Structure 1
Amino acid sequence: MDGPRTLAIDVGGSGLKATVLSPDGEMLSERERRETPYPCTPTVLLDELTALAKTQPEYDRVSVGFPGAIRNGRVREVPAFSRRGPGKDPDPKLVALWTGFELEQALAERFAKPVRVANDADVQGCAVIKGTGMELVITLGTGVGCAVFFDGALLPHMELSHGRFGEGLSIEVACGDNERHEVGKEKWRERVMDALEAIEAMVLPDHLYIGGGNAKKLDPDTLGPNRTLVPNISGLLGGIALWDRTAAPRPDRVPAATSG
């Protein structure tokens, strides 16, 4: 088998998932899932992902989708893990621990392998886009993620879901999983459809892809044209495409070769 094996990790607000992918994207192992612990500090997450990786066969590099804004491997903001639990208010101590955390470097040191980290919607989008025109990816899970591509190139990550609408809530909160339980399925669906229109009005995409664990709770017959539901497994399968669509890791984030 020519080419590197990729450990693909999908970090979610409710679950941590991993599998090893062949160079052509075939899953070489069963998807392993662990519950996301709360409160989830950087150390707690690193320990959980280290344990998760040990359940997988040999790999040469690592791709990680993360539920927050990542810039140059550093955490800019992470709504999910800034809270002591889903639906709770941000905790100042957790915000301080995560803001500026060198996640890519920390993971490279833990795994002793080359690592790339990106927002989870960015990674999922890498697996599903066609590579033509302006393409928008929205993920519905614990919160709401978004990614934008132009002619196959991943654009710098923007937290479009932090925009406010409706009753003054952010899209991230209003269409998140906690509010889905609070307001019920039908009201939540209405909010999601309004949110999709609001984000589309800003981006003007040629096509919209909707993924994440809650995408299956939408009615595909009511989505309208140029909108496609994509499977949640794309969050893992994008692990290879992430390497093809993003720049090489900075030299200080590539660990020294180790034996064994």
Structure 2
Amino acid sequence: MASITLAIDIGGSKVKGCTLNAQGSIVQEYTKMPTPVPATPENLVHTIKELVKEFRYDQVSAGFPGYVRNNIVYTAPNLGSQYWNKIDLAALLTKTLGKPARVVNDADMLGLGCIAGKGFEMMITLGTGFGTSFFLEGKLLPHLEIGQHPCFNNKAYDQYVGQRAYDDLGKKEWNKRLHAVLKILQTTFNYDHLFIGGGLAKKITLELKENMTIVSNIDGIDGGVKLWKQ
């Protein structure tokens, strides 16, 4: 029998979950709850348990907004890094939910569902912060927290084009900033294709180049299934 995957999207303001069949199609629709405050590992796992208590699944994939390597969370800039220092979130989810779990950065999981699997591809997410992921011939590469790197005026990408910047500047000025950021990314990474997602992606008014594509969470929904094939 084909496995059903529980896909969890952990965000700065909301935690969302749905289940997917082996082909990446939705079995049980998205449901969501507010991200707990404070977002400690214990509080977050409790929220996820409540969120998915009516779901049926065989394995768990979680996208987390921070630096994740080998299922272990090292930082969580928008949730509170003081709570997330070498926390094995996959182990906590497995213990709590009783199913095998894998955890990656949230941009990594979205990218897995969006990329074409050809050449060097990059994913960025525009939301509370600025997320990135990289892929070579469809293979997920080690995660880099580009969002924490300074870009202009001693501001990191998170600060320069994240949600707070959008709220402060408005759509027109925020798009000017994003235009400058996209030029830097093209020069720095020389990707074959750039995918742009996250809640702020729908605020983009720029004319994008042919090798840039705006995607939605639905476009990358099967990233949770593909994570188990990496």
* TM tier, smaller: over 0.9
- Scaled by the length of structure 2, what TM-score is found? 0.96
Q: Are 1:44 and 2:40 counterparts? A: no
Which residue is 2:19 aligned to? 20
Which residue is 1:76 aligned to? 74
Q: Which 4+ stretches in 1 moved above 6 angstroms? A: none
Q: For 2:49 and 2:152, locate their aligned partners in 1 and report how far apart those are by CA, in whole Å.
A: 41
Give the paired residue count: 230
Which residue is 1:130 aligned to? 116
Residue 195 of structure 1, CA deviation: 1.5
Q: Could you report, residue by residue, the CA deviation over 1:21-80 in whole angstroms, capped at 9, with x for unpaired residues?
A: 011111011210112222211111111111111132x10000000001101111111111
Residue 141 of structure 1, CA deviation: 1.0
Q: For 1:132 and 1:197, locate their aligned partners in 2 and report how far apart those are by CA, in whole Å.
A: 22
Which residue type is aligned with residue 154 of structure 2? Answer: G
SS for the counterpart of 2:12 is coil
Q: Is the 8 A contact 1:9 1:63 kept in 2?
A: yes
SS for the counterpart of 1:178 is helix
Q: Are 1:238 and 2:220 counterparts? A: no
Q: Report matched runs for 1:1-260 at 5 Å.
A: 2-56=1-55, 58-82=56-80, 95-219=81-205, 222-234=207-219, 236-245=221-230
The CA RMSD over aligned residues, in Å, is 1.3
Which residue is 1:92 aligned to? none
Q: For 1:138 and 1:169, locate their aligned partners in 2 and report how far apart those are by CA, in whole Å.
A: 18
Q: Could you report, residue by residue, the CA deviation over 1:228-253 in whole angstroms, capped at 9, with x for unpaired residues?
A: 001123454310011112xxxxxxxx
Residue 200 of structure 1, CA deviation: 2.5
Change (3 A) 1:35 1:96: closer
Q: Is the 8 A contact 2:40 2:83 kept in 1?
A: yes
Q: For 2:144 and 2:31, locate their aligned partners in 1 and report how far apart those are by CA, in whole Å.
A: 29
Q: Structure 1: 5+ residue runs without aligned partners?
A: 83-94, 246-260
SS for the counterpart of 1:116 is strand
Q: Is the 8 A contact 1:131 1:151 kept in 2?
A: yes
Residue 114 of structure 1, CA deviation: 0.7
Q: Is the 8 A contact 1:10 1:235 kept in 2?
A: no
- Scaled by the length of structure 1, what TM-score is found? 0.85
SS for the counterpart of 2:103 is strand
Q: Structure 2: 5+ residue runs without aligned partners?
A: none
Q: For 2:78 and 2:104, locate their aligned partners in 1 and report how far apart those are by CA, in whole Å.
A: 15
